[in-house]
Amino acid sequence: MSTAHPITAEPREKTGSRHCRRLREAGRLPAVLYGHKKPPAHLSLDAREALAHIRAGEKVYEIRLGGAAETALLKDLSYDHLGARILHADFERVDLSEEVTVNVHLHLVGEAAGLKHAGAMLVQSQTELAVRCAVRDLKDAIDVDVSALDVGGALHAGDVPLPAGWTLAQEADAVLATIQIAKKEAEGEAVEAEAGEAEPEVIAEVKDEGEGEAKAESKE
């Protein structure tokens, strides 16, 4: 059973990007709690405490506001334009018995058989698995044994043994991890030389820093 991690919140009377920016500068994290046909509650959390739980992959929380406490599921996070800093958190009220669809972090364990080959490397293409289960059965992470994974093989979402009460909520043929052999150095140099002859390419235009914060607060 997943632990409902307690976190203390304070009410947030003012909304908007300017006020939220001041909260973040003061070491707080703006958040909102919604669901179960109750009005949304705009909250302020201790950023250090909240982010420690969030970065550890924890999903279920006991939001303590005043003398009351509500079980909530972390539903969404808003980041800055670089995708590095968390600006805002969304929580949804839940009952322990209700079923939810969530992304659970994957821990790859064991030494893959394919890594014994020279130049082999383990490439993890998906770090989370989408599942559906009751809140009380939710875990923060799931261990996946890759010991049998060899060169040319792949671990698919449908290959992962799920705990009792869980069902897969994504395509079963989605590739989670593979064992690949690094190309020879000579081949790498040839590719590099060809790349050097090509015309430079514009990858993307950097967005304005304010866009991330505007998006974070648009839901408020």
Question: Which sign, positive or negative, has the C-alpha torsion 206, 212, 214, 215?
Answer: positive
Class for domain 5-94, per CATH? mainly beta
Q: What is the largest CA-CA distance in the chain?
A: 67
Helix (H/G/I), strand (E/B), else coil: 120: strand
Rounded mean pLDDT of 62-83?
92
pLDDT for 203 equals 41
Give the strand pairing for 86-93 and 167-168: unpaired
Q: What is the pTM of this model?
A: 0.71
Break the chain into its structural domains and give their ranges: 5-94, 101-197
CA torsion angle 161 164 166 171 (round to 10)? 30
> pLDDT tens digit string along 166-212?
999 999 999 999 999 987 643 554 455 455 554 544 444 444 444 55
Spatial separation of the C-alpha atoms in residues 25 and 142, rounded to whole Å: 35
- pLDDT tens for each residue of 16-33: 889 999 999 999 999 999
Residue 106 has pLDDT above 50, yes or no: yes
Class of domain 101-197: mainly beta
Lookup: tokens for 1: 């059973």
